[in-house]
Amino acid sequence: GNSVTQMEGPVTLSEEAFLTINCTYTATGYPSLFWYVQYPGEGLQLLLKATKADDKGSNKGFEATYRKETTSFHLEKGSVQVSDSAVYFCALSDQGSNYKLTFGKGTLLTVNP
Amino acid sequence: GAGVSQSPSNKVTEKGKDVELRCDPISGHTALYWYRQSLGQGLEFLIYFQGNSAPDKSGLPSDRFSAERTGGSVSTLTIQRTQQEDSAVYLCASSPIAGGSTDTQYFGPGTRLTVL
């Protein structure tokens, strides 16, 4: 079955630091890959996605590249802000599983001023 | 436009009581998903609707859980004889269709269920 493994947190950074949150996956088909973000007290929001190998998803300064050879979709941002403090979830979906999302356990990011 | 809405936002109930959770998807979205978010288990899939039918119920944890969708729109998740382990945030998501380039799921704010 499908599974997602992401870097355990929590991660604490200073403002303007570089961020990487690792995510690897196992899937039987050709999945789409997602990063969702949950800000404090808010619901899940899509941050970015990639639907095929070598695609790069990007949004709000965050990027992730779909690497089929390493089954990875690592999230990066060059300079984090306090407002990026949130829980980040890596997820996948594929046709064989009716496109239901399989999530990683989430990584709590705290950015200090 | 309006996003996915869920009601109630919070529900506190006593063990053994039945509860109903409601989801209003984005208008025109044919696919609807229920998930559960709990501290111990993370985010788990419960059930998927395509229109009014549920081709995938594989995530429902027991026969105390059921869901329906009417008119291809509103969905209700019912938990009978609630147990303390049912305490979680129940999330609903919808997408225009299931699959392809439009397979982004849009989430509602969730219903926080607490079973005393």
For residues B2 and A68, what is the distance between their CA atoms, to the nearest angstrom? 36
Q: Is B61 on the interface with A (CB under 8 A)?
A: no
pLDDT number for residue B99: 56
Provide the token pair at A81. Answer: 């802000």
Chain A residues in contact with B59 (beta carbon < 8 A): 100
How far, in Å, CA of A101 to CA of B44, rounded? 8
Is a pLDDT exceeding 70 seen at residue A82? yes
Residue A28 is predicted with a pLDDT of 82
Instruction: State the residue for tokens 């998803």.
Output: A57
Is residue A6 within 8 A of residue A25, CB to CB? The reply is no
Minimal CA separation from B108 to chain A, in Å: 6
From B66's Cα to the closest Cα of chain A, the distance in A is 18
Query: CB pairs below 8 Å between A and B: how many?
Result: 54
Partner residues linked to A68 by β-bridges? none
| pLDDT value, residue B49 | 93
Residue B17's identity, in one-letter code, is K
For the purposes of burial, counting CB atoms within 10 Å of the CB of B27, is it exposed (0-12), middle (13-18) or buried (19 or more)?
exposed
Q: Per-residue pLDDT tens for A14-44?
A: 999 999 999 999 998 789 999 999 998 888 9
Tell me the C-alpha distance between A47 and B85, whole Å: 30
Predicted confidence pLDDT, tens digits, chain B (116 residues): 589 999 999 999 999 999 999 999 999 899 999 999 998 778 999 999 999 999 899 999 999 999 999 988 999 999 999 999 999 999 999 998 765 555 789 999 999 999 99
Q: Could you tell me which residue, A98 or B90, shows the higher pLDDT?
A: B90
CB A6 within 8 A of CB A22: yes
Helices (H) and strands (E) in chain A, counts: 0, 12
Separation of alpha carbons A25 and A45, rounded Å? 20
Token digits of residue A89:
């979830």
pLDDT for residue B100: 53
In percent, how much of chain A has pLDDT > 70?
Answer: 100
B79 pairs with which residues across the strands?
A: B19, B65
CB contact under 8 A, B103 and A42: no
- Per DSSP, what are the bridge partners of residue B89? B37, B112
Helix, strand, coil abundance in chain A, percent, nearest 5 = 5, 50, 45
pLDDT score of A98: 77
Structure tokens at B72: 């291809």
- Residue B97's nearest CA partner among B61, B51, B56 is B51
The backbone torsions φ and ψ at residue B47, rounded to the nearest 5 degrees and listed phi first, read: -155, 150
| For testing contact with chain A, the best of B105, B106, B111, B112 (most A CBs within 10 A) | B105
Q: CA torsion B53→B59→B65→B66, rounded to 10°?
A: 0
CA distance A43 to chain B (A): 5
Please tell me what DSSP assigns to residue B22: E
Please give the mean pLDDT across all residues of chain A. 93
